[in-house]
């Protein structure tokens, strides 16, 4: 009887730690050996008995480790009398208060109930294969195929005096989303063109009203402009949310949950600080802007997180400045020692180099620092390669009077996809299934929005 009285069990309360992200909790529990199905149950808030037949020291060790992982658990006396079937397993007729036992998958046999002494994840690392792989992003569209969509869009936009533009946008996005795939599944674009049409119609009417009032009264124009400034963050938020919730992968929608206050900081405050500091705060402003967009983006219920810091952005800008100074000095030297015309050529090459470095470098910085739960992203855009594609695409579009545009877009989309991959940690199908289960009963807000075309990169 005394032995029974000294037995304890670890009981999950159904609550998670507020100071740890859900994705980090999932990752920690995977490292501790829990199965995906067990983790999904706990993340859904279902109380459960995690481990039984522990002495007090073992129970306290379990409690500390699980609290570090993000689970709030209690230590309770474990009275096993009459609680097991003759076969030794748990009874099937649990009382309403009792949840099925969730024991960590790699736990030893009964009686050896404990985590490894120091570093359980590291101790198991050599015993279990690491389920981590790179899943490439693929774009399967072709220029000839997209040309048919593009030329019809152009014709109908002209024929309808621009009113067909929302339908053209939806058709274009559906083509590019539908031909971009990860792990054999493509993306979906689900926007209703009528919603975009109504949003743009409101924007056009507002612009016309402002133009008419501007002609009649300068004071009235300034008043309307003053009213527009605080409305701008709201418009941007609505646009980002509209694009997010109308984008999906494996029938799970994305979402954007940025706040009005956060948008005001990014759109109004930080650009003002940049001007007041003579552009010295530009890297910090860009960092805050992209952190706002990434950290408020969701795939289902799982948030994206930007792991980059302001220091990373300052380092990126310093490298750009170094490239600019190098080409400027080279241009001046060549202009004085060789010929002024060559100085202009070097300057043009320098501009293209800066453009490529900025576009490719910034994309790589953001993508490589973004995580989704346990999963990450990799981008390896080449600076010279992207400059070459932009330059040749522009020349070919000019030479063909615009008719090369479909091939130019497909060429760039193909290259970007070929340089992008998802770093999958664990079972991607289980992750998708978990998100699908959590979002199945969650209503998605798809409100009308101004289509202002806000993008991350």
- What SS3 string covers 125-162? HCCCCCCEEEEEEEECCCHHHHHHHHHHHHHHHHHCCC
Mean pLDDT, residues 394-406? 96
pLDDT at 85: 38
End-to-end distance of the chain based on CA atoms, in angstroms?
Answer: 67
Mean pLDDT, residues 418-422? 96
pLDDT at 93: 38
pLDDT at 71: 85
pTM (two decimals) = 0.68
Q: Which of 245-259, 327-341, 422-436 has the lowest mean pLDDT?
A: 422-436
Mean pLDDT, residues 340-344? 86
Instruction: State the Cα–Cα distance between residues 227 and 17, nearest whole angstrom.
Output: 42
* Residue 174 predicted with pLDDT over 80: yes
* Structure tokens, 56: 């007090």
Mean pLDDT, residues 365-390? 93
Virtual torsion, Cα 60, 63, 69, 72, nearest 10 deg? -160
Q: Which of 206-210, 259-263, 365-369 has the lowest mean pLDDT?
A: 206-210
pLDDT at 287: 97
Range among 42-46, 245-249, 333-337 rated most confident: 245-249
pLDDT at 57: 78
**Cβ atoms within 10 Å of 378's Cβ, excluding its own:** 16
pLDDT at 17: 78
Exposed, middle or buried: residue 136 (CB in 10 Å: 0-12, 13-18, 19+)? middle
> Higher pLDDT residue, 130 or 355?
355
Mean pLDDT, residues 17-27? 73
Q: Which of 71-75, 127-131, 133-137, 331-335 has the lowest mean pLDDT?
A: 127-131
Percent of residues, the chain, with pLDDT higher than 90: 49
Q: Cα 119 from chain centroid? A: 31
Q: pLDDT tens across 257-284, in order? A: 999 999 999 999 999 999 999 999 999 9
pLDDT at 439: 52
Q: Are 256 and 446 in contact (CB under 8 A)?
A: no
- Place 16 in a pLDDT band, splitting at 50, 70 and 90: confident
Q: pLDDT tens across 79-138, in order? A: 755 444 333 333 333 333 334 444 443 433 333 333 333 334 333 434 444 467 889 999
Mean pLDDT, residues 442-447? 37
Mean pLDDT, residues 135-151? 96
Q: Which of 131, 10, 126 is nearest to 65 (CA)?
A: 10
Q: Mapping DSSP to helix (H, G, I), strand (E, B) and coil, where does residue 4 land?
A: helix
pLDDT at 319: 93
Instruction: State the Cα–Cα distance between residues 54 and 57, nearest whole angstrom.
Output: 8
Q: Cα 78 from chain centroid? A: 44
Q: pLDDT tens across 381-392, in order? A: 998 899 999 989
* Residue 31 predicted with pLDDT over 80: no
Q: pLDDT tens across 277-312, in order? A: 999 999 999 999 999 999 999 998 899 999 999 999
Which residues make Cβ contacts (< 8 Å) with residue 201, sequence separation at least 6? none
Q: Are 367 and 378 in contact (CB under 8 A)?
A: yes
Which residues make Cβ contacts (< 8 Å) with residue 14, sequence separation at least 6? 45, 46, 47
* Residue 430 predicted with pLDDT over 80: no
Q: Mapping DSSP to helix (H, G, I), strand (E, B) and coil, where does residue 239 land?
A: helix
* Residue 426 predicted with pLDDT over 90: no
């Amino acid at each position: 009887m005394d032995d029974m009285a000294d037995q304890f069990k670890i009981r999950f309360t159904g609550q998670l730690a507020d100071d740890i992200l859900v994705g980090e909790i999932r990752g920690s529990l995977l490292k501790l050996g829990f199965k995906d199905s067990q983790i999904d149950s706990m993340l859904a808030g279902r109380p459960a008995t995690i481990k039984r037949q522990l002495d007090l020291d073992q129970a306290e060790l379990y409690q500390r480790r699980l609290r570090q992982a993000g689970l709030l658990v209690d230590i309770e006396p474990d009275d096993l009398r009459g609680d097991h079937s003759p076969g030794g397993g748990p009874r099937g007729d649990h009382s309403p208060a009792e949840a099925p036992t969730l024991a960590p998958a790699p736990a030893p046999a009964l009686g050896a109930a404990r985590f490894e002494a120091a570093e359980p994840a590291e101790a198991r690392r050599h015993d279990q294969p690491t389920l981590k792989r790179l899943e490439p992003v693929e774009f399967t569209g072709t220029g000839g195929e997209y040309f048919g969509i593009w030329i019809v869009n152009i014709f109908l936009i002209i024929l309808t005096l621009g009113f067909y533009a929302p339908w053209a946008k939806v058709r274009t996005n559906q083509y590019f989303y539908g031909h971009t795939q990860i792990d054999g599944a493509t993306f979906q674009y689900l926007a209703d063109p009528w919603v975009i049409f109504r949003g743009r119609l409101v924007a056009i009417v507002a612009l016309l009203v402002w133009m008419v009032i501007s002609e009649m009264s300068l004071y009235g124009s300034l008043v309307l402009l003053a009213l527009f400034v605080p409305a701008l963050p709201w418009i941007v938020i609505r646009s980002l949310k509209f694009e997010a919730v109308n984008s999906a992968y494996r029938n799970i929608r994305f979402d954007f949950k940025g706040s009005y206050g956060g948008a005001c900081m990014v759109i109004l405050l930080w650009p003002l600080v940049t001007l007041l500091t003579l552009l010295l705060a530009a890297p910090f402003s860009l960092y805050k802007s992209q952190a706002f967009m990434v950290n408020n983006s969701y795939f289902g219920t799982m948030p994206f997180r930007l792991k980059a810091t302001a220091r990373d952005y300052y380092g990126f800008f310093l490298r750009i400045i170094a490239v600019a100074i190098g080409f400027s000095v080279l241009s001046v030297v060549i202009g004085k020692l060789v010929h002024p015309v060559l100085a202009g050529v070097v300057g043009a090459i320098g501009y293209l180099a800066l453009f490529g470095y900025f576009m490719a470098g910034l994309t790589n910085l953001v993508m490589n620092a973004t995580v989704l739960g346990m999963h990450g992203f990799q981008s390896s855009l080449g600076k010279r390669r992207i400059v070459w594609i932009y330059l040749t695409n522009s020349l070919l579009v000019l030479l063909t009077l615009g008719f090369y545009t479909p091939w130019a877009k497909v060429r760039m989309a193909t290259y970007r996809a070929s340089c992008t991959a998802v770093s999958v940690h664990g079972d991607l199908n289980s992750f998708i299934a978990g998100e699908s289960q959590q979002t199945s009963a969650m209503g998605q807000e798809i409100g009308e929005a101004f289509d202002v075309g806000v993008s991350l990169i």
